[in-house]
Amino acid sequence: MTALLPPIRAARDTDSQPLATLIAASFAEYPNCVFEWSEFPELRHPASHFAAKGGRLWIADAPGGGIAGSLGVTPLPEQNAVEITKVYADPAFRGSGLAQALFSEALRFSEAGGYVEMMLWSDTRFARGHRFYEKLGFRRWPGERYLADVSATWEYHFRKPLSGRQA
């Protein structure tokens, strides 16, 4: 755990490779969870991808280089909700408050936009992440989805009402 959190900033398209490195390292912690570039075309230009959808991606730079953490948010106007994606933290920063700080950025964005709910999908293997989401007030929703990707991923759906409303 680190004493000081790295500063959080808006992502840039030049974050492509360091962000992919962070995600690949996170995947490598789990059996049969493989990072394949072709399954993440949005990582080629991450800032532009999120901006084109009206969303944001935040990055925390690791001291000495690389990315310590990331979190993105994309509006889902038809549901008056936002989807949280790209939630990753370097192991050296887990438990440091970095992920909560990144989540706070997404919460501010969501509340400023008047959205009434946050949702996300998470690989069924990412149990530590699930505990983090639940600590933030997300609840696992019934059902799972299968991605048919190289890792044969199944995901759980999580949702969190905003502004005191129940979704």
Annotated domain spans of the chain: 8-161
Strands 67-76 and 139-146, bridge-based pairing? unpaired
List the 154-161 sheet strands across, edge first: 8-10, 56-61, 67-76, 81-89, 117-123, 154-161, 139-146
| Mean pLDDT of the chain, nearest integer | 94
On the question of pLDDT at 95 being above 80, the answer is yes
Mean pLDDT of 55-79: 96
Residue 16 has pLDDT above 80, yes or no: yes
Per-residue pLDDT at 135: 96
* pLDDT for res 152: 96
- The predicted-structure confidence for 22-45, as pLDDT tens digits, reads as follows 999 999 999 999 999 999 999 999
pLDDT band at 4 (very low <50, low <70, confident <90, very high): confident
Start-to-end C-alpha separation, the chain: 35
**What is the arithmetic mean of pLDDT over 140-163?**
95
Phi, psi of 2 (to 5 degrees): -105, 150
CATH, range 8-161: 3.40.630.30
Whether residue 67 contacts residue 59, with contact meaning beta carbons closer than 8 Å, is answered with yes
Q: Considering the entire predicted model, what is its pTM?
A: 0.92
Concatenated DSSP letters of 81-122: EEEEEEEEE-GGGTTTTHHHHHHHHHHHHHHHTT--EEEEEE
pLDDT at 163: 78
Q: How does residue 1 score in pLDDT terms, banded at 50, 70 and 90?
A: very low
The answer on pLDDT for 74 being more than 60 is yes
CA-CA distance, 151 to 82, in Å (whole number)?
26
**Which pLDDT value is given to residue 115?**
97
User: Does 3 score more than 60 pLDDT?
Assistant: no
Burial, 91: exposed, middle or buried (Cβ in 10 Å; 0-12, 13-18, 19+)? exposed
Q: Which of the four pLDDT bands, split at 50, 70 and 90, describes residue 166?
A: very low
Residue given tokens 């939630």 in the structure block? 87
